[in-house]
Structure 1
Amino acid sequence: MSKKLKNDRRKLLVYAHYYIPDVASTGQILKELAEGLLHEFDITIICVVPSYTGKVNDQYKTKMFYKEEINGVKIIRIRVPEFSKANKISRVKNILAYFIGAMLATFKVGKMDYVYSISQPPILGGLLGVWGKWMKQAKYIYNIQDFNPEQTMAVGYSKNKLILKAMMCFDKFSCKQADKVIVVGRDMVETLKDRFKGKKVPNHTFINNWIDEKEIYPLSVKHEKVIAFKKKYGLQDKFIIMYSGNLGLYYDLENLMNVIEKFKAREDVVFAFVGEGTIRENLVQYKEKNNLQNVTFIPYQDKADLIYSLNAGDVHWCLNAKGIKGVSVPSKLYGIIAAGKPIIGALEKGTEARLIVEETNCGYVTEPGNYNEIQNLLERFLNEKDTILPTEMSERGRTYLVKNLTKDVSIKRYIKEIKSC
């Protein structure tokens, strides 16, 4: 990149709770977005020190701010206290430390033309964007990955009406202040309109999240690293039904264990959960209590190894709890179809993820909470596992992704929408 071109780029400030090397899905997407925008914008990201698991390395415990540069993206990291995902108070302290630190870090960057924030942490991500807009006199783009308080209400994380009402007021305020709101699902457009009852709806657009199809792609079952992954975790010679991602509140995983228990006698099948999260320990305890020997838990995989773990699964879960329609889109969907794997889904009708599965016919899907039907779909996959049907599903999903859900397609749209502000 020439010096002249560098100097000509408009300046973009990004507030991101997590950024690489943290394994949060939003952190990975923001990495690809930021690097994809570099030829158009000079980018600075304000985020936390690596801490998605709750732990902070000693190298990030001595100062409040740390400046870094990764692949041309400038980063200001904020020290935050360690936390436990199972402890609400420690999580709140961690999030507030980021919020306050990010406000202060804003003074450490110069003039900005654009400010971009995502809806994480809930509510505070939007308010940070408003703060940045005011402090830098810049255009503000608010990217809503998850609507809150709608998500909080859907999973019963809080039932305090006063808090929920305040959350809604704050996030609507952030939407109104934004020069453009970008949502990541067609169903989320309707949620935004419903918030404002169709009147004075903020300027908005819809852009899919994506996966880098050159990093995640189908591999042969005989690939040495796929075989090595299976061997490491005792998955050889099994039909692998995999869940890969955050073991959190939004996926109805605890109730899913009741369905999985019905297959405990199937020694040819293994249910593999790859990842960490709030309810992981609950799932482990259920496994041990009910002696589910064909259920296994596997740690998060480094991004470089994700292609091998995803390809190890024969079928992948894509799930959302009831009430998540129009609130968020499970990003794991993109990784599954990038690896060319069939989907077993529990997703509400009309949700972005279900629309994609149905439009491509790359899996079987039913409503969240319909546990009898989920059991039937599992049995259907097991009956069809030696036929051509799973392969045909895989090919349809991958073909659709390459045409519609790639990084390049979405980033071109982001550039256009940011510049149009």
Structure 2
Amino acid sequence: MVEKVKTDKKKLLIYAHYYIPDVASTGQILRELAEGMIHEFDITIVCVVPSYTGKVADEYKKKMFYKEEVNGVKVIRIRVPEFSKSNKISRIKNILAYFIGAMIATFKVGKMDYVYSISQPPILGGLLGVWGKWMKRAKYIYNIQDFNPEQTMAVGYSKNKLVLKAMMMFDKFSCRQADKVIVVGRDMVETLKGRFKGRKVPNHTFINNWIDEKEIYPLPADHEKVVAFKEKYGLQGKFIIMYSGNLGLYYDLENLMNVIEKFKDREDVVFAFIGEGTIREKLVQYKEKHNLQNVKFIPYQDKSDLIYSLNAGDVHWVVNAKGIQGVSVPSKLYGVMAAGKPIIGVLEEGSEARLIIEEVTCGYVTEPQNYKGIEEVITQIIKLKDDSNLSEMGEQGRGYLVKYLTKDVSVKKYTQEIGSSG
């Protein structure tokens, strides 16, 4: 008897905000998720035109919507106005243009069985999913990458109690409307439960984020492209303590510079910051004002070059500001582990990233705002810079990731959870 080939795939609509070629970490995750699930679902992505940097290419300025197909995934891109990351008003206009455009785009995609949205943009991502559920009469899966308003409150981005209360009300509504809520950390499960004390907690599960371990992996120190990267940015012959990722509000990086300054006379050590973000300029100004010769700022690296930049670091920061525990999980953790590098974790006790580092013993950890503790960890790491224990920590991280935190492991879980939502 010939087995029937599966042709009647269920249709899945994903509100992604950013999608490739944009370099936002959620965009990369959603690309790998969508492409990993196309054997099971007929997938349509609704996202903005490439614009993560704030700029929009001329070819995306002519129409409201652009239909494309990327690696078997249907994509509807929405034109949005350009913005500056340091200008709140321009960012709000940009986000609202996506929100309204995505609501309209919902009518352009036909029948859907499932709707999936992430918590980006904050609050609006969840509400888009509810809109899609209602308009398509579909099952709704809400993936919370960051809890808001909790994140907004933690870093003091807004102190307006009325606004924060409204944000909480809307996001709890999105959670209740969801047929399934997926969070990305064990600590985030507790936050979800805490939101609904004494009331029915929405149906939920926890799935770690991941990295493609076949794209990021350890390379020898003398690999020609790793050497070329070091030479290009003046890092050769140094012990490199690296931060790679968004230079934003959620990492307490300005106070980290105060600690780094204590090591300004170490000519054998360099602190490299790779990436862009809202506070990059402040960090550069601090470096110049305090004449920190051993601090380097390096632009975002293309995804194809990330393997070389991550391998150039001898040890990597994985940091969060105080109050982020249970709110989000720094995705840079997975890239560092994939590259087989040891970690300096500045993370709250009980947070998902810290739990992993402690369970795997792939780095040193201390609490956010414990600046004396951070200084001691850096001192200890520098003492061990030629010690095999340091490289063994990195190897343990890589080994754990390959076993439990790969793309295939997590995508399989998502496929099962989405498919079982209805």
Q: What is the match of residue 104 of structure 1?
A: 104
Equivalences for 1:224-243 in 2 at 5 Å? 224-243=224-243
Measure, in 2, the Cα distance between the counterparts of 1:218 and 1:224.
14
Gaps of 5+ in 1: none
The 3-state SS of whatever aligns with 1:267 is coil
Alpha-carbon distance, 1:391 to partner:
1.0
CA distances 1:120-144 after superposition (whole Å, capped 9, x unpaired) = 0000000000000000000000000
The 3-state SS of whatever aligns with 2:17 is coil
Measure, in 2, the Cα distance between the counterparts of 1:193 and 1:157.
24
Equivalences for 1:302-313 in 2 at 5 Å? 302-313=302-313
Measure, in 1, the Cα distance between the counterparts of 2:293 and 2:406.
38
The 3-state SS of whatever aligns with 2:143 is strand
Q: What is the match of residue 191 of structure 1?
A: 191
Measure, in 1, the Cα distance between the counterparts of 2:108 and 2:77.
11
Letter in 2 for 1:13: L
Equivalences for 1:13-412 in 2 at 5 Å? 13-412=13-412
Measure, in 2, the Cα distance between the counterparts of 1:43 and 1:321.
36
Measure, in 2, the Cα distance between the counterparts of 1:198 and 1:70.
45
Alpha-carbon distance, 1:395 to partner:
1.0
Measure, in 1, the Cα distance between the counterparts of 2:406 and 2:48.
27
CA distances 1:351-407 after superposition (whole Å, capped 9, x unpaired) = 000000000000000000000010000010000111111111011101100110001
Measure, in 2, the Cα distance between the counterparts of 1:141 and 1:198.
23
Letter in 1 for 2:105: A
Measure, in 2, the Cα distance between the counterparts of 1:369 and 1:5.
57
- Higher mean C-alpha deviation, range 5-14 or range 346-355: 5-14
Ranges of 4+ aligned residues in structure 1 off by more than 3 Å? 4-7
The 8 Å contact of residues 6 and 42 in structure 1, kept in 2 or not, is answered as no
Letter in 2 for 1:317: W
The 3-state SS of whatever aligns with 1:140 is strand
The 8 Å contact of residues 22 and 51 in structure 1, kept in 2 or not, is answered as yes
Alpha-carbon distance, 1:5 to partner:
5.2
Gaps of 5+ in 2: none
CA distances 1:199-222 after superposition (whole Å, capped 9, x unpaired) = 200000000000000000000001
- CA 1:167/1:385 → structure 2, altered by over 3 Å: closer, same or farther? same
CA distances 1:6-39 after superposition (whole Å, capped 9, x unpaired) = 7411100000110000000000000000000000
Measure, in 2, the Cα distance between the counterparts of 1:58 and 1:361.
48
Identity %: 82
The 3-state SS of whatever aligns with 1:26 is helix
- CA 1:38/1:198 → structure 2, altered by over 3 Å: closer, same or farther? farther
CA distances 1:308-350 after superposition (whole Å, capped 9, x unpaired) = 0000000000000000010000000000000000000110000
RMSD: 0.8
Letter in 2 for 1:80: V
Measure, in 2, the Cα distance between the counterparts of 1:198 and 1:308.
50
Measure, in 2, the Cα distance between the counterparts of 1:386 and 1:27.
37
- TM-score, normalised with respect to structure 1: 0.98
Letter in 2 for 1:88: K
Measure, in 2, the Cα distance between the counterparts of 1:344 and 1:14.
35
Letter in 1 for 2:328: S
- CA 1:335/1:7 → structure 2, altered by over 3 Å: closer, same or farther? same
The 8 Å contact of residues 344 and 363 in structure 1, kept in 2 or not, is answered as yes
Letter in 1 for 2:92: V
- CA 1:42/1:214 → structure 2, altered by over 3 Å: closer, same or farther? same
Measure, in 1, the Cα distance between the counterparts of 2:37 and 2:82.
32
Measure, in 1, the Cα distance between the counterparts of 2:76 and 2:156.
34
Measure, in 2, the Cα distance between the counterparts of 1:62 and 1:146.
33
The 3-state SS of whatever aligns with 2:355 is helix
The 3-state SS of whatever aligns with 1:218 is coil
CA distances 1:45-98 after superposition (whole Å, capped 9, x unpaired) = 000001111111111111110111110000000010111111111110000000
Measure, in 2, the Cα distance between the counterparts of 1:310 and 1:417.
32
The 3-state SS of whatever aligns with 1:270 is strand
The 3-state SS of whatever aligns with 2:62 is coil
